Amino acid sequence: MLNLNGLMPFAQGSNRFCFIHPADPNVCLKVIRPENIELRFNRQSALKKCLGKKRLNDNRQEMAAYRQSAITSLIAAGETHQAWHHLPELFSSVVTSMGPANASELIRCADGTIAPTLENLLKKDGYTTMLEAAVDRFILWLKTHGILTRNLLPHNLVLSDRSGTAELFLVDGLGAPPFQNRMARMARWRHHYISRKSERFKQRIHWEAQGRNTSWEAFQKTE
90-146 pLDDT tens trace:
999 999 999 999 999 999 999 999 999 999 999 999 999 999 999 999 999 999 999
pLDDT at 222 over 90: no
pLDDT of 14 reads 82
pLDDT of 178 reads 82
Q: Where are the domains of the chain?
A: 11-222
Mean pLDDT of the chain: 92
pLDDT tens column, 36-58: 766 666 666 766 666 666 666 89
Say which amino acid occupies 107. Answer: I
pLDDT at 199 over 80: yes
pLDDT at 19 over 80: yes
pLDDT of 94 reads 96
pLDDT of 181 reads 84
Cβ(130)–Cβ(95) below 8 Å = no
Cβ(186)–Cβ(138) below 8 Å = no
Collapse the DSSP code of 25 into the 3-class scheme (helix H, G, I; strand E, B; otherwise coil) and give the result: strand
Cα radius of gyration (the chain): 18
pLDDT of 179 reads 84
CATH topology of domain 11-222: Transferase(Phosphotransferase); domain 1 (1.10.510)
State the pTM of this model: 0.92
| Packing angle of the helix pair 129-145, 118-125 (nearest 10 deg) | 150
pLDDT at 34 over 90: no
